[in-house]
Amino acid sequence: MIFNRLFVLPLILLFGTPALAQEGIPEFSPPLDIPLILSGNFAEMRRNHFHTGIDIKTQGVEGQNVRAAAEGYVSRVAISPWGYGKALYIDHPNGYTTVYAHLSSLSAKIDSVVRAEQYRTESFRVDFAPDPPIPVERQELIALSGNSGSSGGPHLHFEIRRTADSRPQNPLLFNFDVADNIPPRLRGVRFHPLTDTSLVDGQTEAKSYVLTGGNGKYRMRAAAPVKTYGAVGFSLHALDFLDGAPNKCGIYSLKLEVEGETVCRQQFDELDFAVSRHINCYKDYGAFRRNGWHYHKSFIEPGNGLEMIYPEIAPDSGRVFFPEKGIRQAKYTSTDAYGNTSVLEFAFETLDAPDAPLPAPEPYDAYFYRGRPNSFEYGDELQLEMPANALYNDLKFKFGREMPTAQSLSPYFSLHNDFEPLDKAITVKISMADIPEPLREKVVGARYAAAGAPAWVPGEPDGDYFAMTVKDFGRFTLMADSTPPTLTPNRYSSGGALSDRSVLGFSVKDDRSGIKTYEARLNGKWMLLEYEPKKNLLFAEVGKSGFKKGQNTLEITVTDHCGNAVTRSFNYTY
Protein backbone atom coordinates (compact mmCIF):
# COMPACT_ATOMS: atom_id res chain seq x y z
CA MET A 1 0.00 0.00 0.00
CA ILE A 2 1.12 3.54 -0.74
CA PHE A 3 -0.22 5.88 1.89
CA ASN A 4 0.51 9.56 2.44
CA ARG A 5 0.31 10.28 6.13
CA LEU A 6 0.65 13.10 8.62
CA PHE A 7 2.59 12.06 11.73
CA VAL A 8 1.13 13.50 14.94
CA LEU A 9 1.55 13.40 18.67
CA PRO A 10 -1.00 11.56 20.84
CA LEU A 11 -4.06 13.51 21.96
CA ILE A 12 -4.70 13.66 25.69
CA LEU A 13 -8.15 14.70 26.80
CA LEU A 14 -9.08 15.53 30.35
CA PHE A 15 -12.81 14.87 30.45
CA GLY A 16 -14.98 17.40 32.27
CA THR A 17 -12.37 20.18 32.03
CA PRO A 18 -10.83 21.98 29.06
CA ALA A 19 -8.61 19.72 27.00
CA LEU A 20 -5.39 21.58 27.83
CA ALA A 21 -6.24 22.50 31.44
CA GLN A 22 -3.00 22.32 33.40
CA GLU A 23 -1.00 24.07 36.07
CA GLY A 24 0.50 27.38 35.09
CA ILE A 25 -2.45 28.71 33.11
CA PRO A 26 -3.21 32.25 34.35
CA GLU A 27 -6.40 32.82 36.26
CA PHE A 28 -8.93 35.16 34.69
CA SER A 29 -12.18 36.28 36.26
CA PRO A 30 -15.37 36.11 34.19
CA PRO A 31 -15.93 39.31 32.18
CA LEU A 32 -19.67 39.42 33.01
CA ASP A 33 -21.68 39.21 36.23
CA ILE A 34 -24.17 36.80 34.66
CA PRO A 35 -23.58 33.09 33.87
CA LEU A 36 -21.34 32.43 30.87
CA ILE A 37 -23.61 30.94 28.22
CA LEU A 38 -22.06 30.98 24.74
CA SER A 39 -23.52 31.76 21.34
CA GLY A 40 -20.14 31.31 19.63
CA ASN A 41 -16.80 29.72 20.50
CA PHE A 42 -13.17 29.78 19.45
CA ALA A 43 -12.29 28.72 15.87
CA GLU A 44 -15.91 28.56 14.81
CA MET A 45 -15.94 28.92 11.02
CA ARG A 46 -17.13 32.28 9.69
CA ARG A 47 -17.01 33.98 6.29
CA ASN A 48 -13.31 34.58 5.51
CA HIS A 49 -12.05 33.97 9.07
CA PHE A 50 -12.11 31.75 12.13
CA HIS A 51 -13.83 33.22 15.18
CA THR A 52 -11.00 34.38 17.44
CA GLY A 53 -12.82 34.49 20.78
CA ILE A 54 -16.02 33.48 22.50
CA ASP A 55 -19.39 35.19 22.18
CA ILE A 56 -21.15 35.38 25.55
CA LYS A 57 -24.91 35.81 25.64
CA THR A 58 -26.16 38.88 27.52
CA GLN A 59 -29.72 37.65 28.10
CA GLY A 60 -30.95 39.32 24.93
CA VAL A 61 -30.29 42.87 26.14
CA GLU A 62 -27.59 45.53 26.07
CA GLY A 63 -26.17 47.16 29.18
CA GLN A 64 -24.77 44.21 31.17
CA ASN A 65 -21.76 45.03 33.34
CA VAL A 66 -18.46 44.22 31.60
CA ARG A 67 -15.55 43.74 34.01
CA ALA A 68 -11.78 43.48 33.59
CA ALA A 69 -10.78 39.81 33.70
CA ALA A 70 -7.55 40.67 35.59
CA GLU A 71 -5.54 43.68 36.65
CA GLY A 72 -3.68 45.56 33.96
CA TYR A 73 -4.04 48.65 31.83
CA VAL A 74 -6.06 49.69 28.78
CA SER A 75 -3.49 49.45 25.99
CA ARG A 76 -5.76 50.11 23.03
CA VAL A 77 -9.21 51.52 22.29
CA ALA A 78 -10.82 50.95 18.89
CA ILE A 79 -14.12 52.59 17.97
CA SER A 80 -15.69 51.83 14.59
CA PRO A 81 -19.11 51.50 12.96
CA TRP A 82 -17.92 48.13 11.67
CA GLY A 83 -16.08 45.06 12.94
CA TYR A 84 -15.70 45.00 16.71
CA GLY A 85 -17.63 48.27 17.13
CA LYS A 86 -16.59 49.74 20.47
CA ALA A 87 -13.71 47.61 21.76
CA LEU A 88 -11.24 47.69 24.66
CA TYR A 89 -7.87 45.93 24.90
CA ILE A 90 -6.32 45.34 28.33
CA ASP A 91 -2.70 44.18 28.76
CA HIS A 92 -2.02 42.09 31.87
CA PRO A 93 1.24 41.40 33.74
CA ASN A 94 0.77 37.65 33.08
CA GLY A 95 1.68 38.09 29.39
CA TYR A 96 -1.83 38.07 27.95
CA THR A 97 -4.20 40.69 26.54
CA THR A 98 -7.96 40.49 26.94
CA VAL A 99 -10.33 42.01 24.39
CA TYR A 100 -13.92 43.16 24.98
CA ALA A 101 -15.94 43.99 21.85
CA HIS A 102 -19.35 45.18 20.61
CA LEU A 103 -19.69 47.39 23.72
CA SER A 104 -22.47 49.96 24.08
CA SER A 105 -20.58 52.39 26.34
CA LEU A 106 -17.34 52.75 28.28
CA SER A 107 -16.70 53.57 31.92
CA ALA A 108 -16.42 57.29 32.70
CA LYS A 109 -12.63 57.36 33.09
CA ILE A 110 -12.13 55.54 29.76
CA ASP A 111 -14.87 57.40 27.91
CA SER A 112 -13.40 60.81 28.77
CA VAL A 113 -10.08 59.83 27.18
CA VAL A 114 -11.82 58.41 24.09
CA ARG A 115 -14.02 61.47 23.52
CA ALA A 116 -10.98 63.71 23.81
CA GLU A 117 -9.30 61.69 21.05
CA GLN A 118 -12.42 61.78 18.89
CA TYR A 119 -12.65 65.55 19.18
CA ARG A 120 -8.92 65.93 18.58
CA THR A 121 -9.14 63.94 15.34
CA GLU A 122 -12.70 65.08 14.51
CA SER A 123 -13.70 61.49 13.89
CA PHE A 124 -16.08 59.02 15.51
CA ARG A 125 -13.79 56.26 14.30
CA VAL A 126 -10.56 56.08 16.33
CA ASP A 127 -7.98 53.41 17.08
CA PHE A 128 -5.27 54.46 19.53
CA ALA A 129 -3.16 53.58 22.55
CA PRO A 130 -4.05 55.81 25.53
CA ASP A 131 -1.06 57.83 26.72
CA PRO A 132 -0.61 57.44 29.60
CA PRO A 133 -2.16 53.94 29.76
CA ILE A 134 -5.34 53.64 31.82
CA PRO A 135 -4.88 51.27 34.81
CA VAL A 136 -7.70 48.88 35.77
CA GLU A 137 -8.17 46.41 38.63
CA ARG A 138 -9.45 42.84 38.43
CA GLN A 139 -13.26 42.88 38.18
CA GLU A 140 -13.37 46.66 37.71
CA LEU A 141 -16.39 47.84 35.74
CA ILE A 142 -14.92 48.95 32.40
CA ALA A 143 -17.94 49.06 30.06
CA LEU A 144 -21.49 47.98 29.36
CA SER A 145 -22.24 45.24 26.85
CA GLY A 146 -23.88 46.12 23.58
CA ASN A 147 -24.43 45.34 19.92
CA SER A 148 -22.07 47.79 18.20
CA GLY A 149 -20.13 47.15 15.00
CA SER A 150 -20.79 44.09 12.85
CA SER A 151 -22.69 42.31 15.60
CA GLY A 152 -25.81 40.29 14.88
CA GLY A 153 -27.40 40.81 18.29
CA PRO A 154 -26.57 41.81 21.87
CA HIS A 155 -23.59 39.89 23.24
CA LEU A 156 -20.02 40.29 24.49
CA HIS A 157 -17.22 39.17 22.22
CA PHE A 158 -14.30 38.21 24.51
CA GLU A 159 -10.76 37.25 23.50
CA ILE A 160 -7.50 36.28 25.15
CA ARG A 161 -4.38 37.07 23.12
CA ARG A 162 -0.73 36.42 23.84
CA THR A 163 0.62 39.95 24.22
CA ALA A 164 4.02 39.24 22.66
CA ASP A 165 2.63 38.33 19.21
CA SER A 166 -1.12 39.15 19.48
CA ARG A 167 -2.08 35.58 18.63
CA PRO A 168 -5.59 34.73 19.87
CA GLN A 169 -5.69 31.86 22.38
CA ASN A 170 -8.63 29.53 22.96
CA PRO A 171 -10.43 31.07 26.00
CA LEU A 172 -12.05 27.72 26.82
CA LEU A 173 -8.60 26.43 27.85
CA PHE A 174 -8.42 29.02 30.67
CA ASN A 175 -10.82 27.34 33.11
CA PHE A 176 -13.84 29.62 32.76
CA ASP A 177 -17.06 28.24 34.22
CA VAL A 178 -18.74 27.25 30.95
CA ALA A 179 -20.98 24.17 30.88
CA ASP A 180 -20.54 21.74 27.98
CA ASN A 181 -21.74 18.15 28.14
CA ILE A 182 -22.74 17.78 24.49
CA PRO A 183 -20.46 15.94 22.03
CA PRO A 184 -19.94 17.35 18.53
CA ARG A 185 -22.60 16.54 15.98
CA LEU A 186 -21.40 15.06 12.69
CA ARG A 187 -23.53 15.81 9.64
CA GLY A 188 -21.67 14.57 6.56
CA VAL A 189 -18.44 13.25 5.14
CA ARG A 190 -17.08 14.46 1.83
CA PHE A 191 -14.73 12.70 -0.62
CA HIS A 192 -12.49 14.94 -2.76
CA PRO A 193 -10.73 13.82 -5.98
CA LEU A 194 -7.30 15.45 -5.74
CA THR A 195 -6.02 14.99 -9.30
CA ASP A 196 -7.52 15.37 -12.77
CA THR A 197 -7.72 11.57 -13.05
CA SER A 198 -9.10 10.80 -9.57
CA LEU A 199 -12.67 9.55 -9.25
CA VAL A 200 -15.24 9.30 -6.46
CA ASP A 201 -18.11 6.98 -7.35
CA GLY A 202 -17.23 7.53 -11.00
CA GLN A 203 -17.18 11.34 -10.82
CA THR A 204 -14.38 13.91 -10.86
CA GLU A 205 -16.24 16.27 -8.51
CA ALA A 206 -16.25 16.12 -4.70
CA LYS A 207 -19.25 14.28 -3.26
CA SER A 208 -20.95 14.50 0.14
CA TYR A 209 -22.48 11.57 1.99
CA VAL A 210 -25.06 11.88 4.75
CA LEU A 211 -24.32 10.52 8.21
CA THR A 212 -26.69 8.97 10.70
CA GLY A 213 -26.36 8.42 14.43
CA GLY A 214 -25.96 10.50 17.56
CA ASN A 215 -24.65 10.58 21.13
CA GLY A 216 -21.08 10.43 19.87
CA LYS A 217 -21.42 7.51 17.41
CA TYR A 218 -22.02 7.97 13.68
CA ARG A 219 -21.99 5.98 10.45
CA MET A 220 -22.59 6.63 6.76
CA ARG A 221 -26.15 6.22 5.60
CA ALA A 222 -25.02 4.80 2.22
CA ALA A 223 -25.27 1.01 2.17
CA ALA A 224 -22.34 0.29 -0.16
CA PRO A 225 -18.80 1.62 0.34
CA VAL A 226 -17.87 4.64 -1.75
CA LYS A 227 -15.57 3.72 -4.64
CA THR A 228 -12.43 5.80 -5.18
CA TYR A 229 -9.74 5.79 -7.83
CA GLY A 230 -6.52 7.74 -7.53
CA ALA A 231 -5.50 10.21 -4.85
CA VAL A 232 -8.37 11.48 -2.70
CA GLY A 233 -8.89 13.62 0.37
CA PHE A 234 -11.58 13.69 3.03
CA SER A 235 -13.48 16.36 4.92
CA LEU A 236 -16.03 16.24 7.73
CA HIS A 237 -19.08 18.44 8.35
CA ALA A 238 -18.95 18.83 12.14
CA LEU A 239 -20.54 21.26 14.60
CA ASP A 240 -20.42 21.61 18.36
CA PHE A 241 -23.12 22.75 20.78
CA LEU A 242 -22.78 23.90 24.39
CA ASP A 243 -25.22 23.62 27.27
CA GLY A 244 -28.00 26.17 27.50
CA ALA A 245 -27.93 27.47 23.91
CA PRO A 246 -28.98 26.23 20.46
CA ASN A 247 -26.15 28.05 18.64
CA LYS A 248 -23.90 26.17 16.23
CA CYS A 249 -20.30 26.34 17.43
CA GLY A 250 -16.94 25.05 16.25
CA ILE A 251 -15.09 21.88 17.17
CA TYR A 252 -11.79 21.84 19.08
CA SER A 253 -9.90 18.99 17.41
CA LEU A 254 -10.30 16.54 14.57
CA LYS A 255 -8.38 13.40 13.66
CA LEU A 256 -8.70 11.19 10.58
CA GLU A 257 -7.31 7.65 10.54
CA VAL A 258 -7.26 5.30 7.54
CA GLU A 259 -6.31 1.65 8.01
CA GLY A 260 -5.18 2.50 11.53
CA GLU A 261 -2.77 5.22 10.37
CA THR A 262 -3.27 8.90 11.27
CA VAL A 263 -3.75 10.87 8.06
CA CYS A 264 -4.29 14.33 9.50
CA ARG A 265 -5.06 15.99 12.81
CA GLN A 266 -5.84 19.59 13.65
CA GLN A 267 -6.34 21.25 17.03
CA PHE A 268 -7.44 24.81 17.78
CA ASP A 269 -5.32 26.07 20.67
CA GLU A 270 -4.44 29.36 18.98
CA LEU A 271 -4.82 31.28 15.72
CA ASP A 272 -2.84 33.87 13.77
CA PHE A 273 -4.47 36.99 12.32
CA ALA A 274 -1.81 37.12 9.59
CA VAL A 275 -3.29 34.02 7.93
CA SER A 276 -6.88 34.22 9.15
CA ARG A 277 -8.23 34.30 5.58
CA HIS A 278 -6.61 30.92 4.95
CA ILE A 279 -9.76 29.42 6.44
CA ASN A 280 -11.01 29.58 2.85
CA CYS A 281 -8.70 26.78 1.78
CA TYR A 282 -8.98 24.94 5.10
CA LYS A 283 -12.73 24.49 4.73
CA ASP A 284 -14.59 23.31 1.65
CA TYR A 285 -15.17 26.84 0.41
CA GLY A 286 -17.64 25.90 -2.31
CA ALA A 287 -19.84 23.89 0.05
CA PHE A 288 -19.73 26.73 2.58
CA ARG A 289 -20.70 29.36 0.00
CA ARG A 290 -23.49 27.26 -1.51
CA ASN A 291 -25.04 25.78 1.62
CA GLY A 292 -23.31 27.16 4.73
CA TRP A 293 -21.92 23.68 5.48
CA HIS A 294 -18.89 23.48 7.80
CA TYR A 295 -16.62 20.89 6.19
CA HIS A 296 -13.18 20.60 7.79
CA LYS A 297 -10.64 19.31 5.26
CA SER A 298 -8.30 16.58 6.41
CA PHE A 299 -5.80 17.42 3.69
CA ILE A 300 -3.72 20.57 3.41
CA GLU A 301 -3.90 22.70 0.27
CA PRO A 302 -0.68 24.26 -1.11
CA GLY A 303 -1.66 27.78 0.03
CA ASN A 304 -2.69 26.79 3.56
CA GLY A 305 -0.53 28.71 6.06
CA LEU A 306 -2.35 27.59 9.22
CA GLU A 307 0.64 25.71 10.64
CA MET A 308 -0.36 26.61 14.21
CA ILE A 309 -3.39 24.26 14.11
CA TYR A 310 -1.44 21.22 12.90
CA PRO A 311 0.90 19.46 15.39
CA GLU A 312 3.10 18.43 12.46
CA ILE A 313 2.75 18.80 8.71
CA ALA A 314 4.07 16.13 6.33
CA PRO A 315 5.02 16.95 2.73
CA ASP A 316 2.06 15.04 1.27
CA SER A 317 -0.36 16.72 3.66
CA GLY A 318 -3.10 14.17 4.17
CA ARG A 319 -3.59 12.82 0.65
CA VAL A 320 -4.73 9.19 0.57
CA PHE A 321 -3.76 6.92 -2.32
CA PHE A 322 -3.99 3.12 -2.60
CA PRO A 323 -3.03 1.67 -6.03
CA GLU A 324 -4.46 -1.75 -5.10
CA LYS A 325 -8.11 -2.76 -5.12
CA GLY A 326 -9.58 -3.30 -1.67
CA ILE A 327 -11.93 -2.23 1.14
CA ARG A 328 -10.38 0.38 3.47
CA GLN A 329 -11.46 1.25 7.00
CA ALA A 330 -11.51 4.88 8.12
CA LYS A 331 -12.26 6.66 11.37
CA TYR A 332 -12.95 10.30 12.23
CA THR A 333 -12.65 11.47 15.85
CA SER A 334 -13.97 14.92 16.72
CA THR A 335 -13.69 16.52 20.17
CA ASP A 336 -14.69 19.76 21.84
CA ALA A 337 -12.64 21.73 24.36
CA TYR A 338 -14.24 19.85 27.27
CA GLY A 339 -13.35 16.37 26.05
CA ASN A 340 -16.74 15.38 24.64
CA THR A 341 -16.04 13.10 21.67
CA SER A 342 -17.85 11.90 18.56
CA VAL A 343 -16.64 9.13 16.28
CA LEU A 344 -17.47 8.26 12.69
CA GLU A 345 -16.36 4.88 11.36
CA PHE A 346 -16.79 4.14 7.68
CA ALA A 347 -15.41 2.06 4.83
CA PHE A 348 -14.53 2.94 1.27
CA GLU A 349 -13.30 0.89 -1.68
CA THR A 350 -10.16 1.70 -3.64
CA LEU A 351 -9.95 0.62 -7.29
CA ASP A 352 -6.96 -0.35 -9.41
CA ALA A 353 -8.64 0.94 -12.59
CA PRO A 354 -11.23 3.66 -13.32
CA ASP A 355 -14.86 2.54 -13.02
CA ALA A 356 -16.02 5.23 -15.45
CA PRO A 357 -14.57 6.97 -18.50
CA LEU A 358 -12.32 9.87 -17.54
CA PRO A 359 -13.86 13.10 -18.79
CA ALA A 360 -12.23 15.25 -21.42
CA PRO A 361 -10.45 18.29 -19.95
CA GLU A 362 -12.72 21.32 -19.63
CA PRO A 363 -11.72 24.39 -21.67
CA TYR A 364 -10.35 27.42 -19.85
CA ASP A 365 -9.17 30.90 -20.81
CA ALA A 366 -5.93 31.27 -18.82
CA TYR A 367 -3.78 29.27 -16.44
CA PHE A 368 -2.92 31.11 -13.23
CA TYR A 369 -0.03 29.97 -11.04
CA ARG A 370 -0.46 30.35 -7.29
CA GLY A 371 3.08 31.54 -6.53
CA ARG A 372 3.39 34.07 -9.38
CA PRO A 373 1.75 37.35 -10.37
CA ASN A 374 -0.97 36.75 -12.96
CA SER A 375 -2.80 39.01 -15.40
CA PHE A 376 -5.57 38.77 -17.97
CA GLU A 377 -6.87 41.20 -20.59
CA TYR A 378 -9.88 41.27 -22.83
CA GLY A 379 -9.07 43.66 -25.66
CA ASP A 380 -9.12 47.21 -24.36
CA GLU A 381 -12.27 46.58 -22.30
CA LEU A 382 -10.94 44.81 -19.21
CA GLN A 383 -7.71 44.20 -17.30
CA LEU A 384 -7.24 41.83 -14.38
CA GLU A 385 -4.11 41.96 -12.20
CA MET A 386 -3.32 39.45 -9.46
CA PRO A 387 -0.32 39.50 -7.09
CA ALA A 388 1.62 36.34 -6.31
CA ASN A 389 -0.10 34.06 -3.81
CA ALA A 390 -3.51 35.65 -4.32
CA LEU A 391 -4.69 32.06 -4.96
CA TYR A 392 -4.47 28.99 -2.75
CA ASN A 393 -4.00 26.64 -5.72
CA ASP A 394 -3.15 26.95 -9.39
CA LEU A 395 -6.29 27.86 -11.31
CA LYS A 396 -7.71 27.14 -14.75
CA PHE A 397 -9.33 30.54 -15.11
CA LYS A 398 -12.59 31.00 -17.00
CA PHE A 399 -13.85 34.26 -18.46
CA GLY A 400 -17.16 35.44 -19.87
CA ARG A 401 -18.59 38.62 -21.39
CA GLU A 402 -22.19 39.75 -21.72
CA MET A 403 -23.59 42.81 -23.46
CA PRO A 404 -24.49 45.92 -21.40
CA THR A 405 -28.04 46.37 -20.14
CA ALA A 406 -30.13 49.50 -19.76
CA GLN A 407 -28.85 50.00 -16.20
CA SER A 408 -25.15 49.35 -16.83
CA LEU A 409 -22.44 51.57 -18.31
CA SER A 410 -20.25 48.71 -19.50
CA PRO A 411 -20.51 45.06 -20.51
CA TYR A 412 -20.75 42.42 -17.78
CA PHE A 413 -17.50 40.49 -17.25
CA SER A 414 -17.51 37.11 -15.50
CA LEU A 415 -14.19 36.52 -13.75
CA HIS A 416 -14.20 32.82 -12.96
CA ASN A 417 -16.80 32.29 -10.19
CA ASP A 418 -17.28 33.28 -6.56
CA PHE A 419 -16.90 29.67 -5.36
CA GLU A 420 -13.10 29.97 -5.86
CA PRO A 421 -11.54 31.80 -2.87
CA LEU A 422 -8.90 34.49 -2.99
CA ASP A 423 -6.37 35.24 -0.26
CA LYS A 424 -5.13 38.61 -1.51
CA ALA A 425 -6.88 41.48 -3.21
CA ILE A 426 -6.91 41.63 -7.01
CA THR A 427 -7.39 44.66 -9.25
CA VAL A 428 -10.20 44.71 -11.80
CA LYS A 429 -10.11 47.51 -14.39
CA ILE A 430 -13.06 48.15 -16.71
CA SER A 431 -12.83 50.63 -19.56
CA MET A 432 -14.69 53.95 -19.27
CA ALA A 433 -13.87 54.97 -22.86
CA ASP A 434 -17.54 54.91 -23.89
CA ILE A 435 -18.79 56.70 -20.77
CA PRO A 436 -19.37 60.47 -21.21
CA GLU A 437 -16.79 62.54 -19.34
CA PRO A 438 -19.31 64.29 -17.00
CA LEU A 439 -20.63 60.90 -15.86
CA ARG A 440 -17.24 59.33 -15.12
CA GLU A 441 -17.00 60.89 -11.66
CA LYS A 442 -20.28 59.16 -10.76
CA VAL A 443 -19.14 55.66 -11.74
CA VAL A 444 -19.35 52.82 -9.23
CA GLY A 445 -18.58 49.14 -9.72
CA ALA A 446 -21.16 46.41 -9.24
CA ARG A 447 -20.15 42.84 -8.37
CA TYR A 448 -22.66 40.01 -8.69
CA ALA A 449 -22.21 36.73 -6.84
CA ALA A 450 -23.98 33.54 -7.92
CA ALA A 451 -27.11 34.70 -6.09
CA GLY A 452 -28.40 37.87 -4.49
CA ALA A 453 -28.27 41.59 -5.12
CA PRO A 454 -25.10 43.29 -6.37
CA ALA A 455 -22.40 44.46 -4.00
CA TRP A 456 -21.34 48.01 -4.76
CA VAL A 457 -17.59 48.39 -5.25
CA PRO A 458 -16.02 51.85 -4.98
CA GLY A 459 -12.99 52.51 -7.14
CA GLU A 460 -11.02 55.27 -8.80
CA PRO A 461 -10.15 56.35 -12.35
CA ASP A 462 -6.94 54.93 -13.82
CA GLY A 463 -6.56 56.60 -17.20
CA ASP A 464 -9.54 55.46 -19.26
CA TYR A 465 -10.26 52.65 -16.81
CA PHE A 466 -12.21 52.41 -13.57
CA ALA A 467 -10.03 50.40 -11.16
CA MET A 468 -11.54 48.32 -8.34
CA THR A 469 -9.75 46.39 -5.61
CA VAL A 470 -11.65 43.25 -4.59
CA LYS A 471 -11.09 39.97 -2.75
CA ASP A 472 -13.68 37.88 -4.60
CA PHE A 473 -14.23 36.71 -8.12
CA GLY A 474 -17.66 37.25 -9.66
CA ARG A 475 -19.51 39.10 -12.40
CA PHE A 476 -18.57 42.78 -12.74
CA THR A 477 -19.95 45.83 -14.50
CA LEU A 478 -20.00 49.62 -14.13
CA MET A 479 -23.02 51.69 -13.17
CA ALA A 480 -23.69 55.31 -12.22
CA ASP A 481 -24.60 56.79 -8.86
CA SER A 482 -25.82 60.37 -9.19
CA THR A 483 -28.23 60.32 -6.26
CA PRO A 484 -27.15 61.82 -2.92
CA PRO A 485 -27.79 60.00 0.35
CA THR A 486 -30.96 60.71 2.32
CA LEU A 487 -30.82 62.31 5.77
CA THR A 488 -34.03 62.25 7.82
CA PRO A 489 -34.40 63.37 11.44
CA ASN A 490 -36.14 60.91 13.74
CA ARG A 491 -39.01 61.93 15.97
CA TYR A 492 -38.17 64.89 18.23
CA SER A 493 -34.87 65.46 16.35
CA SER A 494 -36.01 67.90 13.65
CA GLY A 495 -35.84 70.90 15.99
CA GLY A 496 -37.27 72.41 19.15
CA ALA A 497 -36.45 72.16 22.84
CA LEU A 498 -33.77 69.79 24.18
CA SER A 499 -32.49 68.72 27.59
CA ASP A 500 -29.37 66.94 28.82
CA ARG A 501 -31.22 63.63 28.56
CA SER A 502 -32.27 64.11 24.94
CA VAL A 503 -30.84 61.84 22.25
CA LEU A 504 -30.81 63.09 18.67
CA GLY A 505 -31.23 60.52 15.90
CA PHE A 506 -31.02 60.80 12.12
CA SER A 507 -31.80 58.11 9.57
CA VAL A 508 -29.19 58.04 6.79
CA LYS A 509 -29.27 55.84 3.68
CA ASP A 510 -27.61 55.56 0.28
CA ASP A 511 -28.93 53.35 -2.51
CA ARG A 512 -25.70 52.48 -4.34
CA SER A 513 -22.11 53.41 -3.62
CA GLY A 514 -22.66 53.67 0.16
CA ILE A 515 -21.91 56.23 2.86
CA LYS A 516 -18.28 57.36 2.76
CA THR A 517 -18.16 60.28 5.20
CA TYR A 518 -20.39 62.33 7.44
CA GLU A 519 -19.79 65.47 9.47
CA ALA A 520 -21.78 67.37 12.08
CA ARG A 521 -21.10 70.97 13.13
CA LEU A 522 -22.79 72.49 16.15
CA ASN A 523 -22.72 76.28 16.01
CA GLY A 524 -19.85 75.99 13.53
CA LYS A 525 -17.74 73.57 15.63
CA TRP A 526 -17.25 69.86 14.96
CA MET A 527 -19.62 67.65 16.99
CA LEU A 528 -19.41 63.91 17.63
CA LEU A 529 -22.10 61.83 15.95
CA GLU A 530 -22.06 58.07 16.40
CA TYR A 531 -22.87 55.90 13.38
CA GLU A 532 -24.78 52.62 13.59
CA PRO A 533 -24.91 51.17 10.03
CA LYS A 534 -27.15 48.24 11.01
CA LYS A 535 -29.87 50.73 11.89
CA ASN A 536 -28.88 53.35 9.27
CA LEU A 537 -28.61 55.72 12.22
CA LEU A 538 -26.54 58.74 13.24
CA PHE A 539 -27.09 59.74 16.86
CA ALA A 540 -25.74 61.90 19.69
CA GLU A 541 -26.37 62.34 23.41
CA VAL A 542 -27.19 66.02 23.88
CA GLY A 543 -25.71 66.24 27.39
CA LYS A 544 -22.26 65.21 26.10
CA SER A 545 -22.28 67.16 22.82
CA GLY A 546 -21.47 70.76 23.77
CA PHE A 547 -24.84 72.44 23.31
CA LYS A 548 -24.94 75.98 24.73
CA LYS A 549 -27.80 77.57 26.62
CA GLY A 550 -30.31 79.14 24.26
CA GLN A 551 -30.39 78.76 20.47
CA ASN A 552 -28.23 76.18 18.67
CA THR A 553 -27.77 75.27 15.02
CA LEU A 554 -26.68 71.77 13.97
CA GLU A 555 -25.55 71.21 10.37
CA ILE A 556 -25.00 67.67 9.08
CA THR A 557 -23.40 66.70 5.76
CA VAL A 558 -23.40 63.11 4.48
CA THR A 559 -21.40 62.09 1.38
CA ASP A 560 -21.37 58.84 -0.60
CA HIS A 561 -18.44 57.21 -2.42
CA CYS A 562 -19.28 59.00 -5.67
CA GLY A 563 -19.15 62.45 -4.09
CA ASN A 564 -22.91 62.96 -3.91
CA ALA A 565 -23.72 64.89 -0.73
CA VAL A 566 -26.71 66.06 1.29
CA THR A 567 -26.57 68.86 3.88
CA ARG A 568 -29.33 69.74 6.34
CA SER A 569 -29.57 72.25 9.20
CA PHE A 570 -31.62 71.93 12.40
CA ASN A 571 -32.35 74.52 15.07
CA TYR A 572 -32.71 73.65 18.76
CA THR A 573 -33.33 75.42 22.04
CA TYR A 574 -31.28 74.07 24.96
The domain boundary, picked from 304, 322, 350, lies at 350
Judge contact between 446 and 414, C-beta under 8 A. no
In a domain, 25, yes or no: no
In a domain, 518, yes or no: yes
pLDDT given at position 451: 80
pLDDT given at position 524: 97
pLDDT given at position 23: 57
pLDDT one-digit tens code per residue, 268-326: 999 999 999 999 999 999 999 999 999 999 999 999 999 999 987 766 789 999 999 99
Please state whether beta strands 496-497 and 565-573 pair in parallel, antiparallel, or not at all (unpaired).
parallel
CA distance 114 to 73: 15
Task: Examine the pLDDT at 356 and tell me if it is beyond 60.
Answer: yes
In a domain, 3, yes or no: no
| CA angle at 19 for the pair 17 and 20, rounded to the nearest 5° | 105
Same domain as 312, residue 224: yes
pLDDT given at position 452: 79
| CATH code (residue 506) | 2.60.40.1220
pLDDT one-digit tens code per residue, 225-246: 999 999 999 999 999 999 999 9
CA distance 276 to 471: 14
Residues spanned by the domain of 73:
38-173
Task: Examine the pLDDT at 538 and tell me if it is beyond 90.
Answer: yes
Beta bridge partners of 193: 232
Nearest to 427 by CA among 468, 399, 392: 468
Same domain as 244, residue 113: no
Q: E-strand spans in 336-464?
A: 341-350, 366-368, 374-378, 382-386, 395-397, 399-402, 412-415, 421-431, 443-448, 455-457, 460-462
Nearest to 12 by CA among 4, 3, 22: 22
Same domain as 196, residue 331: yes
pLDDT band at 4 (very low <50, low <70, confident <90, very high): very low
The domain boundary, picked from 350, 384, 403, lies at 350
In a domain, 180, yes or no: no
Please state whether beta strands 341-350 and 217-220 pair in parallel, antiparallel, or not at all (unpaired).
parallel
The 8-class DSSP code of residue 17 comes to: S
Judge contact between 554 and 520, C-beta under 8 A. yes
Same domain as 376, residue 320: no
Task: Examine the pLDDT at 2 and tell me if it is beyond 70.
Answer: no
Same domain as 169, residue 60: yes
The domain boundary, picked from 121, 140, 173, lies at 173
Same domain as 523, residue 380: no
pLDDT given at position 9: 33
Same domain as 382, residue 311: no
- Mean pLDDT (the chain) is 94
**What percent of the chain lies above the pLDDT cut of 90?**
91
Same domain as 389, residue 304: no
pLDDT one-digit tens code per residue, 55-84: 999 999 999 999 999 999 999 999 999 999
Spell out the SS3 assignment of 494-529: CCEECCCCCEEEEEEECCCCCEEEEEEEECCEEECC
Determine how many CB atoms are found less than 10 A away from the CB of residue 111. 15
Q: How many domains does the chain have?
A: 4
pLDDT given at position 315: 66
Same domain as 340, residue 196: yes
Q: What is the pTM of this model?
A: 0.93
| CATH code (residue 166) | 2.70.70.10
Same domain as 315, residue 209: yes
In a domain, 474, yes or no: yes
| Prior bond of 132 cis (ω within 30°) | yes
